[in-house]
């Protein structure tokens, strides 16, 4: 029986006076990659922020079989890593220092980084091809390079669950492929990955797909399943079609 990494029930969430999520329930399997997809305004990012504990909500969310709201903040920060849209960090910080921020949940107050912290940062930077920039300031990097550093910061947490909102922003195709390789390595080590993606062909590489529209889940299933492909085409008003190509699935404009 598959273990559940995140379980949510009857979630409602609002931004201002507007309710964005309407009675959303889901169960995300542990050690697998789930992509959340859907048209603009579907509530994808709002849902991911709720699952990360970054937005208030009604209903219940469990992270690794423990209530999210009752999990101590430091423990939650160790178990769950976050990479959001348009994430920022001080431009005058070095790349090394930015990625080291991901180790804060593991460090005692005002303690110097340990050998384990330094090893985790080195591994994360090498995984995202950012090691050669470690002494440069974040402000010296391009948008795509910054995104890779911020991904490294999330990887440095070495959390059991990694949530990413539009992680491919500003990345060119080769580095999107590198990102896919990073995700596959995480899965091999048992990490649960949840990503919001607009790149549908990339999302089709995931194990599971959660499809949203108008603040509700319209379908959840295996990314390779015909029912998922039909639901995916429907949610985009049949303006895309899903096709097999070289042993994988791709989304093409109709």
pLDDT in tens, 20-52: 999 999 999 999 999 999 999 999 999 999 999
Token pair, residue 58, equals 């009604």
164-212: pLDDT as tens digits: 999 998 899 999 999 999 999 999 999 999 999 999 999 999 999 999 9
User: Which of the pair, 150 or 111, is modelled with greater confidence?
Assistant: 150
Comparing C-alpha atoms, which of 178, 118, 117, 106 is closest to residue 148? 178
- Average pLDDT (217-229) is 97
Band of residue 1 on the pLDDT scale cut at 50, 70, 90: low
- Average pLDDT (203-224) is 97
Q: Distance of CA 57 to CAs 40, 64, 183, 228, Å? A: 21, 19, 29, 28
Residue 239's pLDDT is what?
97
Residues forming beta bridges with residue 212, ordered by sequence position: 217
d(C-alpha 43, C-alpha 45), whole Å? 6
In a domain, 97, yes or no: yes
pLDDT tops 80 at residue 2: no
| 3-state DSSP assignment of residue 91 | coil
In a domain, 140, yes or no: yes
In a domain, 176, yes or no: no
The gap between the terminal CA atoms of the chain, to the nearest Å, is: 39
In a domain, 16, yes or no: no
Residue 161's pLDDT is what?
98
Residue 166's pLDDT is what?
94
The secondary element (H helix, E strand) that includes residue 219 is strand 216-222
Band of residue 234 on the pLDDT scale cut at 50, 70, 90: very high
In a domain, 172, yes or no: no
C-alpha angle 1-70-68 in degrees, rounded to nearest 5: 50
In a domain, 131, yes or no: yes
Residue 86's pLDDT is what?
73
In a domain, 120, yes or no: yes
pLDDT tops 80 at residue 59: yes
CB 10 within 8 A of CB 25: yes
In a domain, 151, yes or no: yes
73-127: pLDDT as tens digits: 999 999 999 999 877 777 889 999 999 999 999 998 878 899 999 999 999 999 9
Domain of 94, in residue numbers: 88-159
Band of residue 159 on the pLDDT scale cut at 50, 70, 90: very high
Number of domains in the chain: 1
């Amino acid at each position: 029986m598959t273990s559940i990494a995140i379980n949510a029930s009857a979630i409602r969430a609002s931004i201002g006076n507007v309710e964005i999520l309407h009675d959303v329930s889901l169960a995300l399997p542990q050690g697998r990659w789930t992509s959340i997809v859907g048209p603009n305004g579907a509530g994808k990012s709002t849902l991911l922020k709720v699952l990360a504990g970054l937005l208030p909500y009604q209903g219940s969310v469990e992270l690794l079989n423990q209530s999210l709201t009752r999990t101590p903040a430091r423990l939650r920060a160790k178990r769950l890593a976050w990479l959001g849209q348009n994430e920022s960090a001080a431009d005058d910080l070095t790349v090394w220092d930015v990625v080291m921020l991901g180790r804060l949940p593991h460090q005692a107050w005002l303690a110097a980084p340990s050998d384990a912290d330094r090893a985790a940062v080195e591994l994360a930077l090498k995984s995202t091809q950012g090691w050669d920039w470690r002494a440069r300031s974040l402000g010296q990097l391009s948008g795509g390079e910054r995104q890779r550093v911020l991904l490294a910061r999330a990887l440095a947490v070495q959390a059991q669950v990694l949530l990413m909102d539009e992680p491919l922003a500003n990345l060119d195709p080769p580095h999107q492929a590198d990102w896919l390789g990073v995700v596959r390595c995480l899965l091999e080590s048992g990490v649960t990955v949840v990503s919001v993606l607009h790149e549908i062909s990339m999302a089709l590489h995931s194990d599971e797909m959660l499809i949203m529209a108008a603040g509700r889940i319209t379908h959840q299933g295996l990314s390779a399943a015909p029912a998922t492909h039909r639901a995916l085409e429907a949610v985009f008003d049949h303006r895309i079609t899903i096709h097999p190509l070289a042993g994988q699935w791709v989304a093409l404009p109709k």
